[in-house]
Structure formats: structure tokens, C-alpha cells
Amino acid sequence: MEKIETAVQKAFDKYPTRLEVLRELLKREGLEQDKNLREDYLRLEKGAEGEQDLVNYLEKYGEAHWVILRNVWLDFYGEFEIDLLLITRGGLYSFEVKNYSGNLELIDSQCRMNGHSIGQNPFSQAQKVPVQLKEMFKHQSRHPEIQGVLVFIGENNHVTIQDQVSGIQVLCRNELMHYIWQIARQERNYLGYPVEVDTVLAALRSYEIGKPSKEKEIPQTAKEYLRKGVCCCYCGSFDVKAKNGYVICSCGMHEPKTEAILRTICEYGIIYHEKNLTTTGLTDFFDGFITRKTISRYLNKYFERVGSYKGAEYLNKKKSIADVCQNFDLKESKYLKIR
């Protein structure tokens, strides 16, 4: 299965996502004083896990030639997001994914989780997407069949629906495999013109916005009292020591020192993605783990310099080391030594 990005998504991919920034802040205790940010992180993390579960199901039970787009933000008479858009030869499937735990009920147009009303009604949210997509495609000479799907992907989620839900397919996790097989059967029996990916992308292009316009900036106060230094790449502990070319954690993880330093520079770059890297800023961030001279050497070797030598800054990669490791010549491997 092919995962693709739109041109707008590729442009936004140069910057870390809100979830990526919150993950780094959490690691360094930056969310402890802000309840709203902690809840935002938990919501985004839970959503990302659910969407990845759906991708895993599609990869396992779907067809190799299928194409998926993830997290597409559009503005068509209001902003909305498509969690996952599946493109088959026979049509489009817009998936809204909810990763809940507990008992969800839809009774008398009221949506409740474990007996308490929830802010957004996932059913009406999912119903809007195929309607808007159909409007966006209706002027094309051959507009594709579009099906909306609401998936409750949580393993410990029980769903009770007493109201009639029209216009979308509602699925729980245990129904997903058979539904994917059904999509494949429908595609094999489809006799119309095959859906073309380029045509789909062209239809979305005029309305794509990349991310919600009202997304709140992460307050600088969350970055003021971060825990500094190098943490373990495995357990997140700051109880690490440098020895014999490795950064060794009390949990048993041995990470090559070069990789640990570059990883920490990248973590700093995600947190402070709005600015370039400087020796002064990183010296404070490493908090004595390595010297200013060593930081300067790493920046000059692995990062592109901008500005004069005296006030030198270095281009911030704004991504985790996993995303940019191809830019570094990392020869040694980390390993976990069980004691």
C-alpha cells in the first residue's frame, strides 16, 4: 500500500507537528504545570495511535495498489480534517477514527462516554466529511463514489447506538477486517472508470490548508523550566553517564555518544523550532553534559552554518534524529544490556 502526501503536506512536513513538540516537552517535564497542554497531548497521542492501528489493518488486509492520505486539512464552507482517505480504483473512503476506552452511547441525539456528555459528536463529525467531499468533486466529469466510515478502534471500547445513523458506515475494531475485505470485493466487481490519484489530489488542492487556522500556539511558559541535559533514548531517564564512547543509562541502554549528542540537538531543535541553533542555546540545554567547544564542533560538522563566524547560527533541522538520520554518519549501534 502506498502512503502519499499532498504538496501542502510536504511543505508543512518541514516543521514538527504539535504532537512532536508536546512529546519533547513531556519528556522534559514541560507539561506538568499546564493541565490543558497535558490533556491536549493525551488526546493527540491517543488519536495518533488509533490512526496507526487503522493503517496497520489496511496494510495487512487491504490491497497493495491502494493509496492512502493521512490527516488532510481542508476548508470548504468550514475547516475539517480527514483522518485517513483511502483511494481505491473503485472509489474513495473517508475514515474518521476514534480511539476511545469505555462505553460510548448515542441515545436521543446525545453522545455520552461512560455516562458523561462529550463535547464533539463523532457521528455528526464523520457524517459531514463525505457530504463535503461529494460537493468538492461534483463538478468533475467523472466524480468518484465516496463512502464515509466512522471507526471506533479502541480495544476496550463498547458502542451502543439507539439512534439511526445515516450516510456513513459505523464500525468497531472487530468489524474492521471484514469491512476491508468488503472494500476489496467491491473494487474487483467495479465496472466503471478507475479512480485516478492525480484527479483526487487536484480536486483537494484548492481547498487544502495544511493545518487548522485556529490551532493555538504552545505557550513559551511551557519551555521555561524544562529539565536540561541528555536523557536515555530508551526509558527517558536523565540518570545517564558517558563512558567509553557510550552514554549509559541505569536501565541498561548503551547509546553511542555521538548519536546521543545529535539526538539531543534534534530534540532541542523540535522544542525551539521557531529559531536556528546556536552554541549558546545548546550549551545551556546540555547543562554541562558536554563542553561548549564540543557543541561547536558538532554544529560545524553536522549542521549548515548561517551568518558570520562571530554570531554564527546553524540551520535547525526541526525533526527528530529518526527522521534525519540519513544526514549523519552513524556507524555504531545502540544496545540494551540486561543486568
Among 225-234, 303-312, 316-325, name the one with the lowest average pLDDT: 303-312
Q: What does the mean pLDDT of the chain come to?
A: 94
Shortest CA distance to 159 belongs to which of 107, 86, 119, 224? 107
Per-residue DSSP letter, 164: -
What mean pLDDT comes out for the span 247-268? 97
Helices (H), the chain: 7-12, 18-27, 35-61, 122-137, 173-188, 197-205, 257-271, 279-286, 292-302, 321-324
CA-based Rg of the chain, rounded to a whole angstrom? 23
Q: Tell me the mean pLDDT in the region 179-200.
A: 96
- Burial label for 198, CB within 10 Å (0-12, 13-18, 19+), is exposed
Q: What is the pTM of this model?
A: 0.92
Per-domain residue ranges for the chain? 2-205, 228-336
* Amino acid identity at 191: L
The pLDDT, as a whole number, for residue 118 is: 86
Per CATH, the architecture of 228-336 is what? Orthogonal Bundle (1.10)
Using CA atoms, how far apart are residues 150 and 171, in angstroms rounded to an integer? 6
- State the angle between helix axes of 35-61 and 173-188 in degrees (0 to 180), rounded to the nearest 10: 40
Is residue 327 helix, strand or coil?
Answer: helix
Q: What is the pLDDT of residues 4-56, one digit of tens each?
A: 999 999 999 999 999 999 999 999 999 998 999 999 999 999 999 999 999 99
Distance CA 272, CA 223 (A): 9
DSSP lists the bridge partners of residue 248 as 241, 254
- pLDDT for residue 251: 95
| Residue 223 main-chain phi, psi, to 5 deg | -105, 0
CB atoms within 10 A of CB 228: 16
Q: Is residue 309 pLDDT above 70, yes or no?
A: no
Residue tagged 526509558 (cell numbers): 235
Q: Does residue 339 carry a pLDDT above 80?
A: no
Q: Do 140 and 199 meet the contact criterion of CB atoms below 8 Å apart?
A: yes
Whose cell is 490519484? That residue is 197
Give 265's pLDDT tier (boundaries 50, 70, 90).
very high
pLDDT of residue 310 exceeding 90: no
